[in-house]
């Protein structure tokens, strides 16, 4: 982790108002003190192949994937590129934008849209063929701005020489909003992503730039804002706290669907020139075969977790990999393991992320991976136990609800304290009924009941005493 815990005697002043919003432990925003506990990064689990990208209009360098939930349906957008020996975004590369549909985000099908003839057929799922600069990295989002016109419910960015804006009513049929690019300053050969931020009250776009650090150029992330999607502020470089500079190829930043004030980024971390495969392995995998993308053996990549609460700062609470290449040697190649934009719910206790695997090879595919709901990270308690004390906060609502799991021997208890650290009468640790189990929404109860409404709006602290357990999130409701 980048940020070291503050000394136990240090007290944070000023109460933060969390209202009834869900708070995740992806950063140290709520934490004043950890004793014997640690923040722990969790890793998505493989859940099978979501899509094999084997159609003539797709090709071995399909990429820049976006997954969106729109009511009862899910949409997966991705770039098809049959010709790999041509320059990016060129007419010869034959790049197109495709869409797949699913009722559950598990089973995906290609709709026969009949919009464009590609590879000799109109029976395909292609939604855009021109301009190539846009189809190279077309990245849609569902506009959640209150009052957005139905005809512009979907929006998208695409382009390599400036970012062009597109809108759609159904996510299938798209039209440009302007002849020229909306955003001109940047190095856009990447997946450049946007969304409406209900917290900041504006549209945000996170996109590729380059930054010199110590005489070395790094693929960087910058952002810009807009009130109307048409006029954008000058870009600001994102900062990463004390994290060392790394090549972040795509950022995949979007509001977390259960806590939209927290932006989650599942960024592809690129390691140019860092070779993992031996000559013998390259030969066994036939990676130098001309049918593959050139240079696969030379680089490696994985994915890391970024978070932000707005503004021009990411938190790199964890420098470790969020998604690793794993044991499959075909993922230890250049530009494999790039996550899709979009973390989506796929069950009451489960959410899914999607990752491009076997890049540049005929076996290229999209893998679905799963996490526990809210389960990016947790406050972890070992068997010896420990405690977490929050900074002073105010809340609304009448019940405290936590997402936690414990062993049979472990458990969680909660004390509500005054802002000065004194236990609130009837809400002390001794009054709390210990929680053991594994629940997404567990109501905290004390001997006098669960109702804490009399404390709403008053600065308090929460003290969690835990043993062999994980705490993922909390909220008042």
Backbone dihedral angles phi then psi of residue 251, each to the nearest 5 degrees = -105, -30
Q: What is the per-residue pLDDT across 397-450, written as a single tens digit (0 to 9) for each?
A: 999 999 999 999 999 999 999 999 999 999 999 999 999 999 999 999 999 999
> Are 301 and 438 in a shared domain?
no
The residue written with tokens 């969020």 in the block is 322
Q: Domain check: are 30 and 157 in the same one?
A: no
Residue 105 is assigned to a structural domain of this protein: yes
Within a domain: 292: yes
Q: Calculate the alpha carbon distances from 87 to 81, 91, 250 in Å.
A: 11, 9, 19
Query: How is residue 235 annotated by DSSP?
Result: P
**pLDDT tier at 9 (50, 70, 90 boundaries)?**
very low
* Residue 8 reports pLDDT greater than 80: no
Percent over 90 (pLDDT), the chain: 94
> What is the reported pLDDT for 11?
38
Q: Residue 200: exposed, middle, or buried by beta-carbon count in 10 A (0-12, 13-18, 19+)? A: middle
Measured CA to CA, the distance from residue 323 to residue 300 in angstroms comes to 13
Q: Return d(Cα 250, Cα 339) in angstroms, integer.
A: 8
SS (H, E, C) 14-76: CCEEEECCCEECCCCCCEEEEECCEEEECCCEEEEEEEECCCCCCCCCCEEEEEEEECCEEEE
Is residue 74 pLDDT above 60, yes or no?
yes
Q: Does 327 share its domain with 422?
A: no
pLDDT at residue 342 is higher than 50: yes
Confidence of residue 1 (pLDDT cuts 50, 70, 90): low
Instruction: Give 346's pLDDT tier (boundaries 50, 70, 90).
Output: very high
Give the β-pairing of 175-176 and 164-168.
Answer: antiparallel
44 in Cβ contact with 353 (< 8 Å): yes
> Is the pLDDT reported for residue 458 higher than 90?
yes
Give the model confidence (pLDDT) of 224-265 as tens digits.
999 999 999 999 999 999 999 999 999 999 999 999 999 999
Among 372, 400, 433, the domain boundary falls at 372
Q: Domains in the chain: how many in total?
A: 2
Task: Output the domain CATH number for residue 344.
Answer: 2.115.10.20
**pLDDT per residue as tens digits for the range 350-397:** 999 999 999 999 999 999 999 999 999 999 999 999 999 999 999 999
Asked if residue 390 and residue 368 are part of one domain, the reply reads no
- CA neighbours within 13 Å on the CB side: how many for 296? 33
The pair of three-digit structure tokens given for residue 260, joined into one six-digit string: 């939209």
Between 311 and 9, whose confidence is greater?
311
pTM of the predicted structure, to 2 decimals = 0.95
Write down the mean pLDDT value for the chain.
95
Same structural domain, 445 and 324 = no
One domain, residues 358 and 414 = no
Instruction: List Cβ<8 Å contacts ≥24 apart for 242-246.
Output: 242/2, 242/3, 243/2, 243/316, 243/319, 244/319, 245/211, 245/213, 245/214, 245/216, 245/218, 246/218, 246/304
Given this model, what pLDDT does residue 89 score? 80
Regarding whether 394 and 343 lie in a shared domain, the answer is no
The residue segments making up the domain with residue 99 are: 45-372
């Amino acid at each position: 982790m980048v940020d070291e815990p503050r000394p136990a005697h240090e007290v944070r002043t000023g109460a933060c108002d969390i209202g009834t919003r869900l708070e995740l432990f992806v950063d140290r925003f709520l934490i004043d003190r950890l004793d014997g506990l640690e923040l722990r990064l969790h890793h998505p689990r493989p859940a099978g192949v979501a899509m094999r990208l084997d159609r003539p209009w797709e090709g071995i360098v399909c990429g820049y994937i976006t997954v969106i939930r729109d009511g009862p349906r899910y949409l997966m957008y991705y770039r098809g590129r049959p010709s790999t020996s041509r320059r990016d975004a060129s007419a010869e590369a034959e790049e197109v934008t495709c869409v797949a549909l699913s009722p559950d985000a598990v089973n995906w099908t290609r709709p026969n849209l009949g919009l464009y003839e590609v590879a000799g057929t109109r029976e395909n799922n292609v939604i855009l063929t021109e301009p190539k600069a846009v189809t190279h990295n077309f990245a849609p989002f569902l506009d959640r701005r209150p009052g957005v016109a139905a005809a512009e419910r979907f929006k998208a960015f695409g382009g390599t020489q400036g970012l062009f804006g597109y809108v759609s009513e159904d996510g299938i049929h798209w039209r440009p909003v302007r002849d020229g690019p909306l955003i001109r300053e940047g190095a856009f050969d990447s997946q450049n992503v946007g969304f409406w931020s209900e917290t900041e009250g504006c549209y945000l776009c996170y996109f590729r730039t380059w930054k010199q650090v110590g005489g070395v150029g790094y693929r960087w992330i910058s952002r810009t804002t807009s009130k109307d999607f048409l006029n954008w502020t000058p870009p600001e470089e994102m900062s990463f706290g004390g994290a060392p500079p790394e090549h972040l190829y795509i950022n995949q930043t979007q509001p977390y669907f259960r806590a939209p004030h927290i932006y989650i980024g599942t960024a592809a971390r690129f390691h140019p020139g860092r070779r993992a495969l031996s000559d013998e392995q390259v030969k066994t995998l036939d990676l130098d075969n001309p049918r593959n993308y050139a240079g696969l053996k030379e680089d490696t990549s994985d994915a890391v977790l970024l978070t932000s609460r707005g503004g021009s700062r990411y938190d790199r609470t964890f420098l470790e990999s969020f998604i690793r290449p794993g044991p499959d040697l075909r993922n230890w190649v250049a530009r494999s393991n790039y996550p899709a934009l979009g973390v989506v719910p796929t069950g009451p206790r489960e959410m899914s992320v999607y990752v491009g695997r076997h890049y540049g090879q005929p076996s290229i595919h999209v893998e679905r991976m799963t996490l526990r709901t809210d389960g990016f990270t947790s406050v972890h308690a070992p068997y010896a136990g420990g405690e977490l004390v929050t900074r002073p906060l105010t809340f609304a609502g009448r019940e405290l609800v936590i997402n936690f799991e414990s062993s049979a021997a472990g458990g969680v208890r909660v004390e509500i304290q005054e802002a000065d650290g004194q236990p609130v009468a009837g809400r002390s640790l001794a009054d709390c009924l210990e929680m053991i189990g594994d629940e997404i929404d567990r109501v905290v109860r004390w001997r006098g009941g669960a109702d804490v409404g009399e404390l709403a709006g008053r600065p308090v602290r929460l003290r969690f005493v835990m043993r062999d357990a994980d705490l993922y999130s909390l909220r008042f409701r």
